[in-house]
Amino acid sequence: MKKYQWFLIAAVLIATFFLVYSIHFDDSFPKHGDEWHAITEGIKLTENSFSISKMKVEAGFHIFLAALFIVFGKNLVWIYQFFPALWACLSSIALFFLVYRKTDKNFWIALFAIIFFASIKSNSNIMGLWFFTPLSFAFPFIFLFIYFFTEGLEKENKKYILTSLIIMIFLLPVHALSVLFAIPFLIIYSLFYFKFLKREWKFFSSFILIPIIGLLFYKIIRDLTFSELFSKLLKSLQFKEGWGIVEIAISPLLLYSLAGLIFAAIGVAYIIRSKSKKYLVFVLWPASILISIIIYFITGVSYLVPYQRNLYYFALSLPILSAFGLYYVLKILQALKEGLNPSAKTEKSGKKQEMFYAIIICAIIFFFAFAGYWTMPDGIKPYTVLNQTDYDSLIFLSQFENKSIIMANPALSMAVYPISGHEPVGGMMFYGNEEVVKKFFLTMNCTYRDKVLEKYNVSFVLVKSQPICNWTEIYNKGNYIYEIN
């Protein structure tokens, strides 16, 4: 690639970093309960010496965070704000690699793809680039296993196919859904290379390792007997309405721009018109997910992958199609320009064309960075779990070395363990009894509150304002902390 092309890639990556990081301009802490949950699980793994019995379905991601905690300690909570943006850049690099290589090193389609990728919106319901979770952690690996699998089939390269298998197996304990969603369209794509599959059936039988390893991992994590395994698994792979904490009707425009969708439709037409088998996967990917989404709306059940996750996997497929569509439109415009003015086709026409592309790139970056990128309904916006005052309060509690139980509001309780090392009575979505905590803070009756504190063996109460109850105050810097005897 030329120097100016490397410059353009760097510019897009820098813009992507700040675009994704923008939700942390006024908040230095994780913005989603799943992030706090993952941090908690990671820290607990270090304290339990990586005990398998303490691991969860997404244990691979928790082990990654455990390693980061060993390196950064309690600073992990503050450093976490940079991970979504950094991982978005890493995902962009993987996507660029996928498209650049699949298009025979077409720089512009690959660059357009990562610009459109940066434009994918996020929210607290569907998740996305704004949050560092098992879902977003899987993005670069998804692009890589799709590349190596499809290229391996096209070029009959067993090493590529084996590489894709290794990546898929790696993802199973990290985020199994990021493998399951791809199985339908990869199987269909494989059928176009049936002769190769038939000739090398012994080699391809190695892919049976994916379900075998998945089953064994699920059995160990869920502590199931072999007789329970298949019935439990079948139920686990059927995601009905109510799976998500919040369920709303999602418009495609809530995840992707109208301009991006228009270019994606043009991209589909371009790929079909090209009749190239190696591009067919880019159409099969969104098509298979759309079928799954339609089945969900008809039956109320989403198979293999939850409806909410399928929506984001669908959005992940669109930047590639949009890039093809935009490139196709620009080619048409350039042809029209040269047709209307034949004398323009000189030695300098190539440089002028590249300058034209550069201007379009800048326009797209501006449009997708600011046109509705941060607009979403109130119910699914990223939320603030704690502020600096809350953080300082939990740091104060961390000085008490004996493990204790803390009573704090449900949102703040998600950060209690990662920062203070103590256990909350209950937090939002994860851990303990959230309803008890809600009722505790809604009730002004001190007799009732004292009974709750005694029942749950609470040592400290963290509140925003002074209560009327007779507890021993030990901290009053913005928040109030009371010690319970």
Full pLDDT tens readout for the chain, 485 residues: 788 889 989 999 999 999 999 989 888 899 888 898 899 988 888 876 555 555 567 888 989 999 999 999 888 999 999 999 999 999 999 999 999 999 988 999 999 999 999 999 888 878 889 999 999 999 999 999 999 999 999 988 889 999 998 999 899 889 888 998 998 999 899 888 888 888 877 777 777 777 777 677 666 666 666 666 666 667 666 777 655 555 566 677 788 888 888 899 999 999 988 888 889 999 999 999 999 888 888 887 887 788 888 888 999 999 999 999 988 888 887 777 666 555 554 455 556 666 666 677 667 766 765 677 777 777 777 777 888 899 999 999 988 878 889 988 888 888 899 998 898 988 777 667 778 888 888 888 888 888 988 888 888 989 888 777 888 888 888 888 988 87
**Which residues, in sequence order, are bridge partners of residue 473?**
482
Q: pTM of the predicted model, to two decimals?
A: 0.87
Reported residue count of the chain is: 485
**Strand duo 423-424 + 405-407: pairing:** parallel
Residue 138 DSSP SS3: helix
**Strand duo 480-483 + 423-424: pairing:** unpaired
* Structural domains in the chain plus CATH codes: 3-380 (no CATH), 388-483 (3.40.50.12610)
Q: Running DSSP on this structure, what letter comes out for residue 426? A: B
Q: What is the pLDDT of residue 329?
A: 84
Q: What is the pLDDT of residue 319?
A: 94
Judge contact between 35 and 27, C-beta under 8 A: no
What secondary structure does DSSP assign to 209-267, as a single string?
Answer: HHHHHHHHHHHHHHT--HHHHHHHHHHHTEEETT-SSS--PPPGGGTS-HHHHHHHHHH
Which is it for the CA torsion 30, 32, 35, 37, positive or negative?
positive
Nearest to 163 by CA among 178, 176, 150, 180: 150
Residue 30 DSSP SS3: coil
Q: Which two tokens stand for residue 272?
A: 């079909």
Residue 56 DSSP SS3: coil
Q: What is the pLDDT of residue 250?
A: 66
Q: What is the pLDDT of residue 309?
A: 86
d(CA 177, CA 239): 12
Q: List Cα–Cα distances, 387 to 141, 170, 198, 280, 412, in angstroms.
A: 33, 36, 60, 48, 9
Phi and psi torsions of 457, nearest 5°: 55, 45
Q: Which two tokens stand for residue 276?
A: 């190239």
